A and B are shown apart, each in its own frame.
Chain A
Amino acid sequence: MALIAHPRGATEDRRSVRVLSVAVAIAFVVLFLLLPLATVFSQALANGLDFALAALKDPDALSAIRLTLLTAAIAVPLNTLFGAAAAWAITKFDFRGKGFLVTLIDLPFSVSPVISGLVYVLIFGMAGWIGPFLRAHDIKIIFALPGIVLATMFVTFPFVARELIPLMSDQGREEEEAAISLGASGRSIFWRVTLPNIKWGLLYGVLLCNARAMGEFGAVSVVSGHIRGQTDTMPLHVEILYNDYQFVGAFAVASLLALLALVTLALKSFLEWRYADEIAAVHRH
């Protein structure tokens, strides 16, 4: 029967179109996405695994890893708290200017990373609005941890909020209103009614927020001052090593970050597949 051509359905594309389309799609993804990823790992392992691991045990690399973890450990919980508060206020109450507030929350996503760092330098830097005051009182914000955390908070600001707002808006207020009519306190409503409903969506938002917090380069680069062993985060350390022609070291640290990205993608795909109904339907980034 193989000799008889299968008649093509009216809404089916010609075989040549299908093959060409898939071939172009795969070629593009391989060229633009897979090869850069493969480059990271192959360059890191260019001199063998031991060499790459040794580069990671360098004191400056370890200090960069510590700073990145510390920064994320401060910025992510604060933005999560903000996201939950914003989603609660926006989805459980009706007030004027709601749309405007949502737009303002999304604002950091439309701002260049470099500008996200620049705005803090304009305030806290040497020639910033309160720079002289800070210097007189020996308070360091720019070229120190607070500036790095602030810049990270700015670029990851909307992640949790924009995941929770559509989700909680879909879920409505009936359950919370039922709980309050039965005499539950505000706190127990949040922990026992709202949180169980949004936990996967919340985790999804936190996951994306954390990936960006640990990987942010542009904003942090502007406020960090690049002091080795002190204000270098992992992405900045990658830059320093690369510009020093220490390619294996640069790619070794880079491959740690790439692994973080791959783990994030895997968890993200898993959450989208397993809990599709419990995370917001629309995903824009």
Chain B
Amino acid sequence: MTVAYAVPRPVSRWRNPSALPGFGISMGFVLFYLSAIVLIPLAALAIRPWELGWSGFVAVITQPRTLAAFELSFGASAIAALLNTVFGFVVAWSLVRYRFPLKGLVDALVDLPFALPTAVAGIALSTLYAPNGWLGAPLAALGVKAAYTPLGVVIALTFIGLPFVVRTLQPVLSELGKEAEEASATLGASRGQTFRRVILPALAPAIVTGAALSFARAVGEYGSVIFIAGNLPMRSEIAPLLIVIKLEQFDYAGAAAIGLTMLAASFLILLALNLLQSALFAKR
């Protein structure tokens, strides 16, 4: 602590005066630590791909194997986000609106994907859905191969994304008063009409947010996917794995090119969702 006096400092143009001490030291540490741990390393990601030049960069990210990996990562993440939106809604709705046995346990379990290390989830899902696994065997009897296929990727990404939808919807659902529903019922709407025209529109922004969070997490996910995916090039190889492979070959610029493209693409998709959300729900 270098600040030993409590006299307000001279007014600066970007900071209002305050009686409290410690701004200089805390802000200094924050900026130093943020730069060292996050900003400078991310700058490396933004700069290094261009060692390849524009044409080299484009060549890396348009290789058929890279394109297939992007397609799988973004496609499977979108499907998983969609599944999570539907089932996450049912879970959140049940938890907020109904009472049932072991509800507390179900509620606590929803956070499991946040807390369970991804590698543990990965080997568990892979064992569970392997052809001789608890769920893999019945699925195999039905002629469905889950483990070591793109379907396995979707399963892992659904696991990882569920809490985002549920935890985004839950508080909004709880605060959604019954008044509007009562008014709607009084005016003669059926329960189905009330759901479609009163409840769903009020929840729509939270549904989009939950789906977007789930999608964003899924695109970058690695640990829970690589065990169940089988990692066949062109078929079940996700983009983050391709980065790892490039690094193992000391192709740093290529790895950075794929990483930068992934980040840019997810940011653009999230930005588009954000704009869509504010355009659709501007009145709220």
Contact = CB atoms under 8 A, between A and B. Distances in A.
Contact of B116 (A11, A215, A216, A269): A215
Contacts of A262: 115
A221 interface: yes
Interface string A220-260: 01100000000000111011001000010011001001100
Given A22-B94, A24-B87, A33-B109, A180 B119 contact: no
Q: Range of interface residues on chain A?
A: 35 or more
A198 interface: no
Interface stretch (A52-60, A89-97, A132-140): A89-97
A126 B98 CA distance: 57
A31 B138 CA distance: 13
> Chain B binding site: helix, strand, loop or mixed by DSSP?
helix
B111 A215 contact: no
B37 interface: yes
B18 A217 contact: no
A150 B106 contact: no
Contacts of A118: 45, 243, 247, 255-256, 259
Contacts of B244: 114, 221-222
Given A128-B252, A187-B1, A218 B118 contact: yes
A218 B240 contact: yes
Given A21-B90, A285-B163, A238 B37 contact: no
A208 to B, nearest CB: 8
A214 to B, nearest CB: 7
Contact of B120 (A26, A181, A215, A283): A215
A161 to B, nearest CB: 9
Interface in A6-40: 10-11, 13-14, 17-18, 21-22, 24-26, 28-29, 31-37, 39-40
Contacts of B266: 110
Contact of A33 (B100, B112, B119, B127): B112
Nearest to B18: A93
B41 A36 contact: no
B164 A285 contact: yes
Contacts of A204: none
B79 interface: no
B3 interface: yes
A144 B112 CA distance: 30
Contact of A115 (B26, B45, B134): B45
B128 interface: yes
A57 to B, nearest CB: 20
Interface in A80-122: 81-82, 85-86, 88-89, 92-97, 101, 104-105, 107-108, 110-115, 118-122
Contact of A25 (B22, B106, B128, B159): B106
A189 B29 CA distance: 19
A217 B115 contact: no
B23 interface: yes
A43 interface: yes
B125 interface: yes
A254 B118 CA distance: 10
Contact of A93 (B3, B15, B45, B97): B15
Contacts of B102: 26
Interface string B216-244: 10011111000100000000000011011
A34 B163 CA distance: 14
B188 to A, nearest CB: 10
Interface in B7-35: 14-16, 18-23, 25-27, 29-30, 33-34
Contacts of A269: 108
B37 A104 contact: no
A10 B179 CA distance: 11
B211 interface: no
Interface of A: 10-11, 13-14, 17-18, 21-22, 24-26, 28-29, 31-37, 39-40, 43, 78, 81-82, 85-86, 88-89, 92-97, 101, 104-105, 107-108, 110-115, 118-123, 125-129, 150, 153-154, 157, 173, 176-177, 180-181, 185-187, 189-190, 208, 211, 214-218, 221-222, 234-236, 238-239, 242, 247, 250-251, 254, 257-258, 261-262, 264-266, 268-269, 282-285
23 contacts: A32-B162, A35-B128, A36-B159, A37-B124, A85-B26, A89-B26, A94-B16, A110-B266, A110-B267, A111-B220, A112-B263, A113-B221, A115-B220, A115-B259, A118-B255, A119-B45, A126-B250, A217-B222, A218-B222, A254-B120, A257-B119, A261-B112, A269-B108
